Amino acid sequence: MDLHFKGLPQLLKRFPDHESAREYLEQKIWGGTPFCPFCKCDKWYKLGKEGQYKCGNKECHKKYTVTVGTIFHGSHIPLNIWFCAMYIASSHKKGISSHQLAKDLNLTQKSAWFMLHRIREMVRDKKEEKLSGIVEVDETYMARKFHSELKPQNFDYTPSWPNIKEKGCVFGMAQREGKVRIKVFESNNAEKLRASIKKHVKKHSWLITDGSNIYNQGLDGYKREFVIHSTKEYVKGDIYTNNIENFWGLMKRGIYGIYHQVSYKHLQRYCDEFSFRYNSRKIPDNVRFELSLSDIQTRLTYFQLIKNGYKEEEPYQEEKSEWD
C-alpha cells in the first residue's frame, strides 16, 4: 500500500481519524491477516471493540491490537496524530522541538517529548551495514556538558581542565555519496574511536581524516589520507572532510537553533534522528515517511527512556577475514 501525498494537508485527508490509520497499519503489518504478536498464531477472534482481537491459541489466548509491540504500544494518542508527528519529525530538516510539536498537535509537552523519542528509536539504523570506499572521519562535541566553543586553542584533553566536563564526544563516519554513521562517546578516547572505525568501516577502505593523532596508529588494513585544518589546509584534490563537516553544520544548527541544548544521556538518539534524515535526503518526504513506518516494531517505555541513559557500544571484537 504505497502512499502518494504531498504535504501535511494531504496526509490528514488520507488519514482523517484513528480508524483509517489503524486500518492502514493492519494492512501494512499483517497484510490483511491478523496474527498474535505474543505467540505468532494466525488463528484469532474479533472482539466487540474495533481493532481488538483475541488469540485463538489455547495456550496464549491473549487480547491484542496491531499496535502491540510497536512504538504506538500503550499510547492513547490517535494513530493519525502519530502519523502527523512522524511526518513532521522526518521532513523538517533540523527537526522540531517538543514544545512546538505539542502546540501544533494539541498535546502536552511531556507527551510530545516522549513521542519524539519513540520516533527517534524507530528510525535508528538497526542493521548498520559497514561503510566502504572513501570514508570521511571526524569528531566534534555537542552535549550540554561539553561546549566546543569553550575550548582554548591549545586545549588539553585531560580532566584537569577545571571548567569543562569531558563528556559528549560525537564521532562521525561519512561514506562519499553514501550514508553517515554517528556514535557518541563520553570522551575522544583514541582506542574507542579506532574500535568504532573497525566496527563500522570495511577494511581496505580509504579513511580521510584531519591531522589528529588519534588516527596515526592502530588502524592497520586501512589506507589513510588527511588534511591539516590547523594550518588552514582543507582540500588536497580529492582529500577533504567536507561531507562530514557539512553534516556537523546541519546538526549543530538543529541542536542550537531548535533544541537549544541536549544532555549526554539522550545525545545518541538525536544523532540517530539527524542521521536518518541525512541518509534519506535524496528521497521525497512521503517515501521517507513510509520508510520510517517500516520499522515500527520497536517498543520504548517511558521508564526505559528516563532511567536508562545511552550506553556506549560494546568493544569491537575484530573478525578474521580472507584478507588477513
pLDDT in tens, the chain (324 residues): 567 888 899 999 999 999 999 999 999 889 888 999 999 898 988 888 888 999 999 889 899 999 999 999 999 999 999 999 999 999 998 999 999 999 999 999 999 999 999 999 999 988 888 999 999 999 998 865 544 444 444 544 444 444 444 467 899 999 999 999 999 998 888 999 999 999 999 999 999 999 888 898 889 999 999 999 888 889 999 999 999 999 999 999 999 899 988 888 899 999 999 999 999 999 998 889 988 888 888 888 889 888 866 666 766 666 554 444
C-alpha cell belonging to residue 44: 484469532
Closest CA to 196 of 217, 220, 218, 171: 171
CATH 3.30.420.10 fits 134-282, yes or no: yes
Q: Largest alpha-carbon pair distance within the chain?
A: 72
Domain ranges, ordered by start, for the chain: 134-282
Torsion of CA 109, 288, 27, 33, to 10 degrees: -100
Helix runs in the chain, H state only = 7-14, 18-30, 79-91, 98-105, 109-123, 190-200, 242-254, 267-279, 285-293, 302-307
C-alpha cell belonging to residue 194: 579506532
